[in-house]
Structure 1
Amino acid sequence: MHIFRYGQKELKYLKERDKALGSVIGRIGMLQFEVIPDIFAGLVRSIVFQQISIKAATSIWNRMLGHFKEISPERISSATIEEIQNCGLSARKAISIKEIAMAEMQGELNLSELRNLSDEEVIRRLSALRGIGVWTAEMVLIFSMERPDVVSWSDLGIRQGMMRLYGLKTLTKEQFEKYRKRYSPYGSIASLYLWRLPPDL
Structure 2
Amino acid sequence: MQNQFIFNQQTLHSLCDELALADADLAWVIKHYGYPRFWSRSNTFESLVHVILEQQVSLASALAALNKLKENIQEVTPARLLLLTDEELRACYFSRQKMAYVRYLAEALLSGQLKLEELENLPDEKVRHRLTSLKGIGNWTADIYLLMTLHRTNIFPIGDLAVVNAMKRLKRLPTATTKDELLLIAEQWQPYRSIATMILWHYYLSRGK
Query: What TM-score comes out, normalization by structure 1 length?
Result: 0.89
- Please name the residue that 1:132 is paired with: 137
**Alignment check: 8 A CA contact 1:10 1:186 kept:** yes
Partner SS, residue 135 of structure 2: coil
Q: Name the counterpart of 2:88.
A: 83
1:93 counterpart = 2:98: yes
Matches within 5 A, 1:42-53: 42-53=47-58
For residue 199 of structure 1, the aligned residue among 195, 198, 207 is 207
- After superposition, the Cα gap between the structure-2 partners of 1:183 and 1:60, relative to the gap in structure 1 and judged at 3 Å, is same
CA contact 1:73–1:104 (8 Å) conserved in 2:
yes
Mark the runs of 5 or more structure 2 residues left unpaired by the alignment: 1-7
| Counterparts of residues 1-201 of structure 1 (less than 5 Å) | 6-169=11-174, 170-197=176-203, 198-199=206-207
How far apart are the structure 2 equivalents of 1:162 and 1:117?
Answer: 29
Pair 49,31 (structure 1): closer, same or farther in 2 beyond 3 Å: same
Code of the residue aligned with 2:184 in structure 1: it is K
Give the TM-score taking structure 2 as reference length. Answer: 0.86
Long gaps (5+) in structure 1: none
CA distance in 1, matches of 2:105, 2:91: 18
Go from structure 1 to structure 2 and tell me whether the alpha carbon gap of 1:109 and 1:4 turns closer, same or farther (over 3 Å shift).
same
Instruction: Tell me the amino acid that sits aligned with residue 179 of structure 1.
Output: I
Secondary structure at the counterpart of residue 196 of structure 1:
helix
Supply the distance in 1 between the matched residues of 2:39 and 2:84 (Cα, whole angstroms). Answer: 26
Counterpart CA distance in 1 for 2:123 and 2:98 is 26
Question: Greater RCO between the two (CA within 8 Å, min separation 6)?
Answer: 2
Matched letter for residue 202 of structure 2: R
* Residues 149 and 186, structure 1, Cα contact 8 Å, conserved in 2: yes
Distance 1:20 1:33, change over 3 A: same
CA-based RMSD of the aligned residues comes to 2.0
Which whole-Å CA distance do the structure 1 matches of 2:78 and 2:41 have between them?
15
Aligned residue pair count: 198
Match of 2:5 in 1: none
Cα distance change of structure 1 residues 129 and 152 upon mapping to structure 2, 3 Å threshold: same
Greater than 4 Å deviation, 4+ residue runs: none
Task: Give the secondary-structure state (helix, strand or coil) at the position aligned to 1:30.
Answer: coil
What is the alpha-carbon distance in structure 2 between the residues aligned to residue 6 and residue 13 of structure 1? 11
